[in-house]
């Protein structure tokens, strides 16, 4: 048996592409046309918890693409939670510094939701909540990190990339490494095997 099913990643995320490529998954990328701000505002009005909101976003992304194809479509979303509050990606380096100053020396959670659709309906969902423990960083350390890492870290809700220089900011991480990166790989591989989308 060989990998024959058409798989689409409904995401513009470079790291999610790298995760699937690293697992030797053959896939295409289609960026969904989803207004996340509208979904988040509706979720706020409804009083949704952050896990439900993350899953709603993941479902919206995969369903936007699944409506146009019979392929297996993977949608994912990640929300950072710190002391009960949700955080979006920092708007600029000043906001990134404020984010790191706020979470230094304390744990925070990354809520990672995956929804997979096929033939126009969601067939599978997965939710992970890894917890990350930052070091008690000095302001000078944070400044040095931001200068070295550059604006690329603005693509991360936590203002860091643990797969790169951001690993130096942490004491430890509890939970799935791939969920921290933005796509829980192991349960997703189980799903792809059950759908006979991959050979093993």
Q: Which residues are catalytic?
A: 77
Tokens 């423990």, residue located? 133
187 secondary structure, DSSP code: H
Give rounded-to-5 percent helix, strand, coil for the chain: 40, 25, 35
Rounded Cα–Cα distance for residues 33 and 131 (Å): 30
């Amino acid at each position: 048996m060989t990998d024959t099913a058409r798989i689409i990643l409904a995401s513009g995320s470079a790291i999610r592409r790298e995760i699937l490529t690293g697992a030797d998954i053959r896939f295409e990328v289609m960026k969904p046309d989803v207004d996340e701000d509208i979904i988040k505002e509706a979720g706020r009005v409804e009083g949704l918890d952050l896990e439900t909101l993350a899953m709603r976003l993941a479902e919206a992304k995969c369903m936007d693409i699944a409506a146009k194809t019979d392929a297996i479509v993977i949608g994912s979303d990640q929300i950072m939670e710190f002391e009960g509050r949700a955080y979006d990606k920092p708007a600029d380096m000043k906001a990134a510094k404020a984010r790191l100053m706020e979470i230094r020396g304390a744990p925070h959670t990354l809520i990672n939701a995956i929804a997979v659709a096929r033939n126009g309906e969601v067939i599978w969902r997965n939710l992970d909540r890894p917890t990350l423990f930052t070091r008690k960083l000095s302001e000078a350390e944070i400044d040095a990190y931001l200068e070295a890492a550059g604006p690329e870290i603005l693509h991360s809700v936590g203002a860091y990339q643990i797969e790169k220089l951001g690993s130096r900011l942490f004491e430890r991480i509890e939970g799935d490494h791939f969920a921290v990166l933005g796509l829980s790989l192991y349960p997703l591989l189980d799903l792809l095997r059950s759908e006979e989308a991959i050979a093993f």
